[in-house]
Chain A
């Protein structure tokens, strides 16, 4: 543990700390940012009225739309001269949002990423290859600063140039990899096809921290078995700070949220009602110590579930399930809610199928049509038509049984689905105008 005092703090003591910090954060937003002040005033709320953690519920939500409208500097609560860094969201949906960092914010973020690396078993002895994109995207520099903070040897290669990535893993003795899970799979595929002599098991690679997109247990198993490593899910949002909001530990069951610095709530995405821990819903974040861009009740649109257990790793931090999906990625197909990650887990349960797939949604007349395009890997190819047809029938039947949707399964040639060095594009929705 990088910060054992904070990460394994007694829950009652942590709640006191959270309340003290919440009051500071709300006051900071109110006093130092005109937009927050006007918002709080419109809701008839003064920071003095926040006396318990439950009083958080009286504060109005902050939406992504507001963040876009206030970009670039409308939500800053410090003068620009105190801002040492700007990042912008990767624009997964709509226009970018902008985040600023004071020197203190960078220190906080680096510490959180150092905790993340330690949580995955990494430390000063590790050679950390950062294959997240560097730039406005928070992934690259976030992992980089965390790596330096913990004293690891950081290789700032950024995303892309797969052949070079593999050469560095081999030649620099990389022990830990940081990238999106889909890029990790692309690396393995690339090596299998183009560098048949490349054997991940003969490298020093031991572990990887993968995030910035939802992924499944099936994908974890694929990465772990093909790379011969331990693969950990890490989570964050640029609107909150970047990577370093939550991460898995050695138990690989749920992600610990760093709730000493980010309060997290679950709400019903339709009504905004706060749900008890254990319920599935949209996660809402409140920063407790951020200086430049305090976020107060930010609606992440990420759907998951919060719960507490006695984790063997010793952290007392609240856990969240792997993100099921983003509420605006959720597909509603003939009235059934489906996340792309659920489609992925069905596909990956079929032996030999690789996580290269695409979901195409279209409307025929009044009805939604779903097509799932799945690449035929060498492992699942057969020269017999009946075997190939049985494979697509099997996937379609699993899809019907577990997700309740009737999807047309189309087998496509290898490499026909676009590869990405960053976030994979999984859904083509032709229903939208």
Chain B
């Protein structure tokens, strides 16, 4: 099962990030993972949140350009070389990573990497074949093994 990621278009201007966060706060949406990819004038805010559908509806109603997309959340040991081996699994299958971002968990033992693929199903198969743990998205919003 894949993880829904919420993405929002943001102009690169003071106050614009607050506008998004205020909507999420008003709807008691908790952000689990968060990253911003930016070019000169704008950025794309990408988030894993506890209530993705509700957050998406609220942001649309507030007239933000936003979308929900399937991403893969993968748990790995937080040790040298693990990410290399993982990426190698994709490379051998010619699966192109659109983008990715990673976090270590609060205990520092595991890291969680979020991958965006054009074909998430093929990537998920590759991960299963290589024995990686794809984290499942469970209500009310914790990523669980």
Residues of chain A whose beta carbon lies under 8 Å from any beta carbon of chain B: 193, 376-378, 380-385, 388-389, 410-416
A222 CB to closest chain B CB, in angstroms?
18
Q: Are B10 and A413 in contact (CB under 8 A)?
A: yes
| Candidates A381, A411, A414; contact of B41 at CB < 8 Å | A411
| Candidates A381, A411, A416; contact of B67 at CB < 8 Å | A381
| Candidates A384, A410, A412; contact of B99 at CB < 8 Å | A384
Nearest chain-A residue to B99 (Cβ)?
A384
Q: Are B5 and A383 in contact (CB under 8 A)?
A: yes
A contact residues around B63 at 8 Å (CB) = 193, 413-415
Q: Are A376 and B9 in contact (CB under 8 A)?
A: yes
Tell me the chain B residues, 15-60 only, with Cβ under 8 Å from chain A: 16, 37-39, 41-42, 44, 46, 60
B130 CB to closest chain A CB, in angstroms?
25
Q: Are A413 and B67 in contact (CB under 8 A)?
A: no
CA distance A79 to B75 in the complex (A): 88
A189 CB to closest chain B CB, in angstroms?
10
Asked whether B1 is an interface residue with its Cβ less than 8 Å from the other chain, the reply is: no
A384 CB to closest chain B CB, in angstroms?
6
A contact residues around B60 at 8 Å (CB) = 193, 378
A346 CB to closest chain B CB, in angstroms?
19
Q: Are B11 and A381 in contact (CB under 8 A)?
A: no
B46 CB to closest chain A CB, in angstroms?
6
Q: Are A383 and B41 in contact (CB under 8 A)?
A: no
Q: Are B64 and A414 in contact (CB under 8 A)?
A: yes
Q: Are B116 and A416 in contact (CB under 8 A)?
A: no
A74 CB to closest chain B CB, in angstroms?
48
Q: Are B44 and A413 in contact (CB under 8 A)?
A: no
A195 CB to closest chain B CB, in angstroms?
12
B103 CB to closest chain A CB, in angstroms?
18
B contact residues around A388 at 8 Å (CB) = 9, 39, 42, 44
Asked whether B100 is an interface residue with its Cβ less than 8 Å from the other chain, the reply is: no
B142 CB to closest chain A CB, in angstroms?
23
| Candidates A193, A384, A389; contact of B98 at CB < 8 Å | A384
Size bin of chain B's contact surface: 20 to 34
Residues of chain B whose beta carbon lies under 8 Å from any beta carbon of chain A: 5, 7, 9-11, 16, 37-39, 41-42, 44, 46, 60-61, 63-67, 69, 98-99, 116
A134 CB to closest chain B CB, in angstroms?
29
Q: Are A413 and B11 in contact (CB under 8 A)?
A: yes
B57 CB to closest chain A CB, in angstroms?
11
Nearest chain-A residue to B71 (Cβ)?
A383
CA distance A341 to B66 in the complex (A): 29
Most chain-A CB neighbours within 10 Å: which of B11, B16, B61? Answer: B11
A contact residues around B7 at 8 Å (CB) = 381, 383
| Candidates B38, B61, B64, B69; contact of A383 at CB < 8 Å | B69
Nearest chain-B residue to A413 (Cβ)?
B11
CA distance A227 to B63 in the complex (A): 21
CA distance A334 to B25 in the complex (A): 48
Q: Are B44 and A383 in contact (CB under 8 A)?
A: yes
CA distance A382 to B118 in the complex (A): 12
CA distance A221 to B95 in the complex (A): 39
B contact residues around A413 at 8 Å (CB) = 9-11, 16, 63-65
Closest A-B pairs by Cβ, 4 of them: A383-B7, A381-B65, A376-B65, A415-B63
CA distance A416 to B60 in the complex (A): 15
A contact residues around B65 at 8 Å (CB) = 376-378, 380-381, 413-414
B22 CB to closest chain A CB, in angstroms?
14
- Given A383-B5, A384-B99: A416 and B11 within 8 A (CB)? yes
Q: Are B67 and A378 in contact (CB under 8 A)?
A: yes
> 13 A-B Cβ contacts within 8 A?
A377-B65, A378-B65, A381-B9, A381-B67, A383-B5, A384-B98, A384-B116, A385-B38, A388-B9, A410-B41, A412-B42, A413-B10, A413-B11
